[in-house]
Structure formats: C-alpha cells, structure tokens
Amino acid sequence: MSNQTMEVQVQDVLDKLRPFLLRDGGDCELVDVEDGIVKLRLLGACGSCPSSTITLKAGIERALLEEVPGVVEVEQVF
C-alpha cells in the first residue's frame, strides 16, 4: 500500500474520532506516515492533558491498528 493511500485511510479514521476529541476541547493533526508509523500532534486540551498518552495509545492507536492495514504504531510529535 502506498504511503498516500495509508495517509488517506488514517485521516478517515481520525475524522471519525475527531468529534470525541473536540468534545473534550482537543484535536489531533496528522503530521506524517512513515514505514507504518503514524505521527500525530495533539492539539488544544489534548496537548496538555495528563491522559493524552492513554488517549493516543488506547484510543487512537487501537483504532488505527484495527482499521488501517500496515499501521504498526502511533507516535506523538510536538
């Protein structure tokens, strides 16, 4: 699968999750997809929330691993 195809699929999943992040005053931005590693920047309340690592790993990463073939990990970038 091409990087561009994977980016589109990742963005589709993030768009589904975005309402939950926005409800809590946060958001996320796709920075890059490289070798199956999705790099995200957490924005708004998510950027400073102590639970953001849990949101990133248990929520966003789990959804991406389930729905986008080829995703192996999600990393937070600042």
User: Closest by alpha carbon to 8, among 42, 38, 46?
Assistant: 38
The CATH code belonging to domain 3-76 is: 3.30.300.130
- pLDDT at position 16, please? 96
- pLDDT at position 23, please? 93
- pLDDT at position 34, please? 93
Can you give the three-state secondary structure of 24-71, one letter per residue? CCEEEEEEEEECCEEEEEEEEHHHHCCCHHHHHHHHHHHHHHHHCCCC
Per-residue pLDDT of the chain (78 residues; tens, 9 = 90+): 678 899 999 999 999 999 999 998 999 999 999 999 999 999 998 888 888 888 888 899 999 999 999 999 999 998
- pLDDT at position 32, please? 96
Domain map (residue ranges) of the chain: 3-76
- pLDDT at position 31, please? 97
